[in-house]
Amino acid sequence: MLIKRASGILPSEITDEAVYIKRRELLKLAGIAAVGTMAGQSVLVSAAVPEAGGKLLPNARKSPLSTDQKPNSWSDVTTYNNYYEFGTGKEDPSRNATNFEPRPWSVKVSGQCDKPGSYAYEDLIAPNELEERIYRLRCVEAWSMVIPWVGIPLASILKKFEPNSKARYVNFKTLDDPSRMPGQRRRILNWPYEEGLTIAEAMHPLSLMAVGVYGYELPNQNGAPMRLVVPWKYGFKSIKAIAEIKFTSRRPRSSWEQAIPSEYGFYANVNPQVAHPRWSQARERVIGAGVFESKKPTELFNGYGDEVASLYAGLDLRKNY
């Protein structure tokens, strides 16, 4: 009997185990290089590699939905963001989330669907192929970044729960646990953080459930273990550390909408024409561009208009901010 060698793989293509184990060190050696290519897989390596504890994810497929803009550094992405569960300062999450333990994790699914229940993180994520999506992120505070997320189309996850015909919206909630999320001990927002999308928005191919960034598992401060990324909306819509998903027939109210309804609406689509009541949204500070770089004009739907504008046909974006 002939035992065939697995076809298509040359011995020279198989990574030596010692090299494989040391791949992190090798990645570090790759150093400043923005994009490194190893063993045929694309891995983005930032100028500063993650500190100890960062777990490399399996290869993520490159996505045609990615922007070709240069991503921000690992340091920008992981030290400057809003995540009030770990403090209201932009650097607070990176300081205060270090001890957060995102495993074990489960998501409670309820509402208008045929497969409600409690799902373990692994059961939700593992069956899917990971994709790398390099997206622009525009914060409602008029700054922006480019972030190489790794994740799964939100639709592939939601479809598993078999939403029924009454499911017109999807409501997401962050973990509610002040003992693990110290920011929740102060009642700044109505905890747990809550967000919502229309079912069409949630099922849109651009909507992503991110589990990683830069090829690594999501750092705690970025919303580990799983968070939403909805790139055509202001960043606060992209809810972090999701513990609950509910399909509803009535429009959910997001946490920011509950806090200041005159300033934050349900849609929160990026729109340079519609100013925040207290500041302009016409331009944005590009993080990482340098002190002397001027702000850049903000684009409608954060530049994703070709993909998503049809979702809002006939909707008055000024009223439905």
Partner 1 sequence: MKPGSRAFYRLSKPAVFLLALLPFIILLLRSFEVAGFGLGANPVEALLHELGRWGLKFLLLTLAVTPLRRWTGWNWLLRFRRMLGLFSFFYIMLHFAVYAVLDQGLDMAVIIEDVIKRPYITLGMTGLLLLIPLAITSTKGMMRRLGKRWQKLHRLVYIVAVAGVWHFYWQVKLDTLDATVYAAILLLLLGSRVYHRRR
Which residues in this chain contact partner 1 in the complex, by CB under 8 A? 72, 75-76, 79-80, 84, 88, 90-91, 141, 143, 188-189, 259-260, 275, 278-280, 283, 285, 287-288, 291-292, 294-295
Which tokens is 128 given?
């899917």
Residue 178 CB-half CA count within 13 A: 8
The three-class DSSP label of residue 4 is coil
> Least CB distance from residue 80 to partner 1, whole Å?
3
Q: How far apart are CA 285 and CA 292, in angstroms?
A: 11
Q: Give the integer Cα–Cα distance in Å for 30 and 48.
A: 11
Nearer to partner 1, 288 or 305 (CB): 288
Q: Which is nearer to partner 1, 109 or 140 (CB)?
A: 140
Distance of CA 252 to the CA centre of its chain: 20
Q: How far is the CB of 82 from partner 1 (least distance, A)?
A: 9
CB of 280 to partner 1, least distance (A): 7
**20 or 279, CB closer to partner 1?**
279
| CA distances in angstroms from 20 to 7, 94, 100, listed in the order given | 21, 29, 29
213: nearest Cα among 166, 292, 148: 148
Comparison of 158 and 218: residue with beta carbon closer to partner 1? 218
- Name the minimum Å distance from CB 94 to partner 1: 10
Q: How far apart are CA 176 and CA 187, in angstroms?
A: 12
- Alpha-carbon distance of 157 to 67, in angstroms, equals 23
Q: Which is nearer to partner 1, 23 or 90 (CB)?
A: 90
- Cβ closest to partner 1, residue 207 vs residue 221: 221
CB atoms within 10 A of CB 55: 10
Nearer to partner 1, 141 or 307 (CB): 141
Q: Which is nearer to partner 1, 207 or 254 (CB)?
A: 254
Q: Which residues contact 16 (CB under 8 A, 6 or more apart)?
A: none
Smallest distance from partner 1 to CB 115, Å: 36
Q: How far is the CB of 321 from partner 1 (least distance, A)?
A: 16
In the bound complex, what is the minimum distance in angstroms from residue 146's beta carbon to partner 1? 13
Please identify, using beta-carbon distances, which residue of 190 and 249 lies nearer to partner 1: 190
- What does each C-alpha distance from 109 to 163, 212, 244 come to in angstroms? 10, 22, 6
Shortest Å distance, C-beta 188 to partner 1: 5
CB of 163 to partner 1, least distance (A): 32
Instruction: Record the tokens describing residue 145, joined without a space.
Output: 């970044």
Torsional class of 26: left (φ above 0), alpha (ψ -120 to 50), beta (otherwise): alpha
Distances (CA, A) of 7 to 11, 39, 41, 99: 11, 17, 19, 46
